[in-house]
């Protein structure tokens, strides 16, 4: 494990308390750590805490002649082999995205040639806010910067959703084992969320899928180096930075968007979407009136997107999900075989605390001849593990038999 010189930037947010533990873990792993705090961070944690843990003076000001006489801001920027900003607040990301250098931390970020990692932490509405999304896109386009997290779950303010800083242990582990680019150069297509099947112009049939599992997988595939196309049903999640999102409403829309994406070249297809199995045979052109005591709707089968893609002459490595309330393994194995899949991820959706619309999930992964149960975890953490498993199985299939399935034609 390479020991690095890490400049840890701490910005203003309640998650700053986790950064003290992060310094301890980084030091324990043998890294040299220098801490730079913004004014906002000082409101949450005393610089002395970081000084004691890092064994180095903590820098807080750009215009401190005494500090500049020691290691000036440019030397600090050159010293760092990694700039890690944890927590990275919305305000800090906005200033960074706009090239501001109005305090020590933004100045070091402008001056350094080292990779910069941001571990965002903010309220879920701030994370979803259009200005924050725009700043993320700018940061992404400019390069040099990677995003670790955020995680989703309960927030200090009482809200629930994406915006929690990753745990200190998860960040420290990633510093020591940077995300392996296991899908570098590959194209991954992911379906996510529910579909809506119209009854009339104002009513539809749908389900409780939030899209969280699929969005987490798309982000994990991106982190693993893939080009990712996310075919999304109607959800209220922000697009993951660096992922191309194509919207679809009905199952038939989703099928055609998926076929188009796969047609253009796709190495791995992951179907997390909860696609409606049936649609109303004929959608009413106008809002239906409640003139009758009883109403019967004739439902007809929707096309199966997953089976369609897996049944192509040269299919990508195809991964299905199975949402079951009972006999999870039996039904999952049946789908694996019947739909001719390379892998299926089974989740027991009978539990209210995992599966549909939850931030956590519990899954067992099956492939021909094997399986692995993954302990209950956040969808973000599970997605990273699933991407590793997918890459390993894809590699195994490629080396075990001459590849029947290579479909990528995208030139990058």
Give residues in contact with ligand PMT (CB under 6 A): 191, 193, 209-213, 251, 271-275, 277, 302, 304-306, 320-323, 335, 347, 349, 355-357
Q: Is 157 labeled as catalytic in the residue annotation?
A: yes
Return the number of the residue (16 or 280) whose C-beta is nearest ligand PMT. 280
Return the number of the residue (304 or 342) whose C-beta is nearest ligand PMT. 304
Tokens of 385: 């593990």
Task: Map residue 285 onto helix, strand or coil.
Answer: coil
CB 280, min distance to ligand PMT, A: 15
CB 354, min distance to ligand PMT, A: 9
Residue in 109, 110, 157, 266 annotated catalytic: 157
Return the number of the residue (170 or 382) whose C-beta is nearest ligand PMT. 382
Q: Which residues pair with 362 in a beta bridge?
A: none
Closest CA to 337 of 312, 309, 302, 368: 368
Looking only at the bridges linking them, the beta strands covering 197-200 and 203-205 are antiparallel
CB 390, min distance to ligand PMT, A: 14
Q: Which residues pair with 370 in a beta bridge?
A: 367
CB 211, min distance to ligand PMT, A: 5
Q: Are 380 and 218 in contact (CB under 8 A)?
A: no
CB atoms within 10 A of CB 371: 15
CB 321, min distance to ligand PMT, A: 4
CB 193, min distance to ligand PMT, A: 6
Return the number of the residue (111 or 389) whose C-beta is nearest ligand PMT. 389
Return the number of the residue (87 or 315) whose C-beta is nearest ligand PMT. 315
Return the number of the residue (123 or 272) whose C-beta is nearest ligand PMT. 272
69 burial via Cβ count (<10 Å: 0-12, 13-18, 19+): exposed
Closest CA to 224 of 376, 339, 392, 84: 392
User: Which residues touch 135 (CB under 8 Å, ≥6 apart)?
Assistant: 90, 93, 94, 96, 97, 98
203 burial via Cβ count (<10 Å: 0-12, 13-18, 19+): middle
Torsion of CA 62, 67, 73, 74, to 10 degrees: 150
Q: Indicate which residues carry an active-site annotation.
A: 157
């Amino acid at each position: 494990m390479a020991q690095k010189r890490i400049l840890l930037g701490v910005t203003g947010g309640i998650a700053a308390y986790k950064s003290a533990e992060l310094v301890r873990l980084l030091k324990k792993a043998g890294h040299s750590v220098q801490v730079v705090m913004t004014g906002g961070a000082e409101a949450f944690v005393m610089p002395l805490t970081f000084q004691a843990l890092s064994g180095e003076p903590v820098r807080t000001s750009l215009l401190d002649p005494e500090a500049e006489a020691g290691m000036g801001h440019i030397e600090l920027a050159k010293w760092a082999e990694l700039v890690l900003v944890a927590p990275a607040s919305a305000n800090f990301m906005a200033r960074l995205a706009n090239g501001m250098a109005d305090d020590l931390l933004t100045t070091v970020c402008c001056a350094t040639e080292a990779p910069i990692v941001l571990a965002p932490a903010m309220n879920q509405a701030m994370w979803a806010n259009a200005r924050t999304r725009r700043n993320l896109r700018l940061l992404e386009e400019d390069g040099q910067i990677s995003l670790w997290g955020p995680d989703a779950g309960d927030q200090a303010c009482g809200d629930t959703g994406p915006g929690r800083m990753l745990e200190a242990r998860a960040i420290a582990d990633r510093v020591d084992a940077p995300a392996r680019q296991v899908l570098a150069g590959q194209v991954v297509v992911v379906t996510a969320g529910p579909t809506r099947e119209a009854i009339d112009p104002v009513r539809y049939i749908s389900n409780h899928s939030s899209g969280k599992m699929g969005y987490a997988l798309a982000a994990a595939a991106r982190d693993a180096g893939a080009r990712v196309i996310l075919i999304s049903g109607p959800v209220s999640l922000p697009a993951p930075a660096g992922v191309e999102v194509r919207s679809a409403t009905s199952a038939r829309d989703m099928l055609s968007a998926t076929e188009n994406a796969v047609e253009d070249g796709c190495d791995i297809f992951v179907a997390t979407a909860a696609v409606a199995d049936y649609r109303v045979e004929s959608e009413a052109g106008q809002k239906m009136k409640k003139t009758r005591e009883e109403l019967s709707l004739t439902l007809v089968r929707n096309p199966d997107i997953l089976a369609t893609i897996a049944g192509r002459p040269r299919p990508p490595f195809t991964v299905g999900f199975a949402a079951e309330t009972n006999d999870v393994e039996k039904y999952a194995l049946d789908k694996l075989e019947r739909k001719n899949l390379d892998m299926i991820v089974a989740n027991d959706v009978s539990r209210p605390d995992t599966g549909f619309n939850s931030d956590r999930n519990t899954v067992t992964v099956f492939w021909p001849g094997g399986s692995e149960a993954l302990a209950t975890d956040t969808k973000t953490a599970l997605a990273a593990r699933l991407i590793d498993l997918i890459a390993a199985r894809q590699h195994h299939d490629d080396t075990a038999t001459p590849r029947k399935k290579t479909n990528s034609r995208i030139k990058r």
